[in-house]
């Protein structure tokens, strides 16, 4: 559970994109009590910290995740999803939940420990090049796209919602647009002054989503940052982590669009990187640029206020910039 950093533009500091004060972090004493049956009296070793919880070492084969807000019911759904996902013929591993517990009103899961180092760490250490990372990144997208439908993904709730994406519609374009409408209705006072011609774009989006839908269905990760891909020393993917933020079954072109846009969100050359990845994806996977841009708009509207309802963080500014970008606008409204 590695959270994406979302630099704040104004307002309070953030923790992985969320305001630090809004996350109910357990104290060290609480963690010791929660994990006592697995770790004894020793302080558990923290392996990772993300938006949804903390990851601790149990042994060489297992980790424990202490969740901030997930319910037992939702985690049991995720357990079923992971079991189905593990049945796909990927060349990389995926998480497996072995046990779900509720201890002191907190959910704790015991999961398979996955091997490898994050692609982010390997890049920063200079062990792999940006070109190698990009190639491996698209390899993962290709495998996900080629894995075929995964109905268990349709049962998962997305973002902070309690319902599945498909509670609103039976097919992906309409389900995605319904999610967009819910988010815009919820955060309109913040989005309206920031997004040029918001209603015009929102009204156009439903038909555009139907137009660009490839008709293919596969599992959608929905948050494929470099920190969610583990690699070996040679840079080959060994595991894909942190499913659940926007995980569902849908058009793999949507997943590719999201992944390309978040490969480098805040770097000096972020837009050039995004557009370069679009070109690479067009050539390698055959996806059309127009579809990638329409899905970029949908993702931006859905997630703009994911980390700050008032839009004071870097993620909101990043989403708004895309929604006002000439190429995205042309793909939406001509």
Burial 103-130 (b: 16+ CB within 10 A, else e): eeebbbbbbbbbebbbbbebbeeeebee
CA distance 43 to 54: 14
62 strand-pairing partners: 112
For residue 48, what pLDDT is reported? 87
pLDDT digit string, tens, across residues 193-248: 999 999 999 999 999 999 999 999 999 999 999 999 999 999 999 999 999 999 99
Structure tokens at 294: 């329409």
Q: What is the mean pLDDT of residues 39-49?
A: 89
Mean pLDDT (the chain) is 92
Query: Cβ contacts of residue 289 below 8 Å, gap of 6+?
Result: 278, 282, 331
Per DSSP, the three-state class of 219 is: strand
Instruction: Please name which of 101, 65, 107, 122 lies closest in space to residue 243, comparing C-alpha atoms.
Output: 65
Residue 15 has pLDDT above 70, yes or no: no
Residue 1 has pLDDT above 70, yes or no: no
For residue 19, what pLDDT is reported? 36
CA distance 100 to 111: 9
For residue 10, what pLDDT is reported? 36
Q: What is residue 196's DSSP assignment?
A: T
Q: How confident is the model at residue 7 (pLDDT cuts 50, 70, 90)?
A: very low
Specify the fold of 14-112: Phosphorylase Kinase; domain 1 (3.30.200)
Q: By percentage, how much of the chain surpasses pLDDT 70?
A: 93
Residue 262 burial (CB count, 10 A): 22
Residue 178 burial (CB count, 10 A): 16
Residue 278 has pLDDT above 50, yes or no: yes
Question: What CATH homologous superfamily does 117-333 map to?
Answer: Aminoglycoside phosphotransferase (APH), C-terminal lobe (3.90.1200.10)
For residue 23, what pLDDT is reported? 62
pLDDT digit string, tens, across residues 294-332: 999 999 999 999 999 999 999 999 999 999 999 999 999
Query: Cβ contacts of residue 269 below 8 Å, gap of 6+?
Result: none
Q: What is the mean pLDDT of residues 39-54?
A: 87
Q: Do 226 and 241 contact (CB within 8 A), yes or no?
A: no
Where are any strands of DSSP class E within 104-206? 106-112, 117-118
Q: Is 95 exposed, middle or buried (0-12, 13-18, 19+ CB in 10 A)?
A: buried
Per DSSP, the three-state class of 47 is: strand
Q: Is 89 exposed, middle or buried (0-12, 13-18, 19+ CB in 10 A)?
A: exposed
Q: What is the mean pLDDT of residues 22-42?
A: 87
pLDDT digit string, tens, across residues 77-114: 999 999 999 999 999 999 999 999 999 999 999 999 99
CA distance 79 to 244: 11
Structure tokens at 199: 């209603």
For residue 22, what pLDDT is reported? 53
Residue 21 has pLDDT above 80, yes or no: no
CA distance 312 to 197: 21
Residue 251 has pLDDT above 60, yes or no: yes
Instruction: Please name which of 105, 103, 111, 102 lies closest in space to residue 244, comparing C-alpha atoms.
Output: 111
Structural domain boundaries of the chain? 14-112, 117-333
For residue 314, what pLDDT is reported? 97
Residue 8 has pLDDT above 50, yes or no: no
* Chain centre distance of CA 311: 19
Q: From the CA atom positions of the chain, what is the Rg in Å?
A: 19
């Amino acid at each position: 559970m590695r959270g994406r950093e979302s630099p704040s533009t104004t307002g309070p500091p953030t923790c992985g994109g969320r305001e630090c004060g809004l996350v109910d972090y357990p104290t060290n004493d609480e963690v010791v009590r929660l994990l006592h049956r697995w770790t004894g009296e020793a302080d558990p070793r923290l392996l990772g910290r993300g938006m949804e919880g903390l990851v601790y070492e149990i042994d060489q084969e297992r980790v424990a995740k202490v969740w901030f807000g997930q319910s037992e019911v939702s985690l049991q759904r995720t357990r079923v999803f992971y079991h189905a996902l593990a049945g796909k013929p990927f060349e990389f591993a995926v998480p497996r939940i072995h046990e779900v517990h509720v201890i002191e009103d907190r959910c704790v899961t015991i999961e398979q420990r996955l091997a490898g180092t994050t692609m982010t760490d390997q890049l920063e250490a200079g062990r792999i090049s940006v070109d190698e990372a990009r190639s491996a990144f698209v390899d993962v997208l290709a495998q996900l796209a080629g894995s075929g439908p995964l109905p268990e993904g349709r049962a998962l709730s997305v973002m902070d919602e309690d319902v599945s994406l498909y509670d609103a519609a039976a097919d992906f374009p309409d389900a995605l647009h319904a999610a967009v409408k819910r988010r815009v209705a919820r955060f309109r006072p913040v989005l309206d002054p920031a997004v040029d011609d918001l209603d015009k774009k929102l009204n156009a989006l439903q038909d555009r989503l139907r137009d660009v839908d490839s008709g293919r269905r596969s599992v959608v990760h929905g948050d494929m940052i470099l920190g969610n891909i583990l690699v070996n020393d040679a840079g080959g993917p060994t595991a894909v982590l942190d499913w659940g933020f926007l995980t569902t079954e849908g058009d793999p072109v949507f997943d590719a669009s999201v992944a390309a846009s978040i490969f480098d969100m805040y770097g000096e050359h972020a837009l050039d990187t995004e557009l370069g990845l679009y070109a690479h994806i067009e050539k390698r996977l055959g996806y059309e640029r127009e579809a990638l841009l329409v899905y970029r708009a949908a993702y931006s509207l859905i997630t703009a206020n994911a980390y700050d309802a008032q839009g004071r963080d870097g993620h909101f500014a990043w989403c708004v910039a895309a929604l006002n970008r000439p190429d995205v606008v042309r793909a939406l409204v001509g």
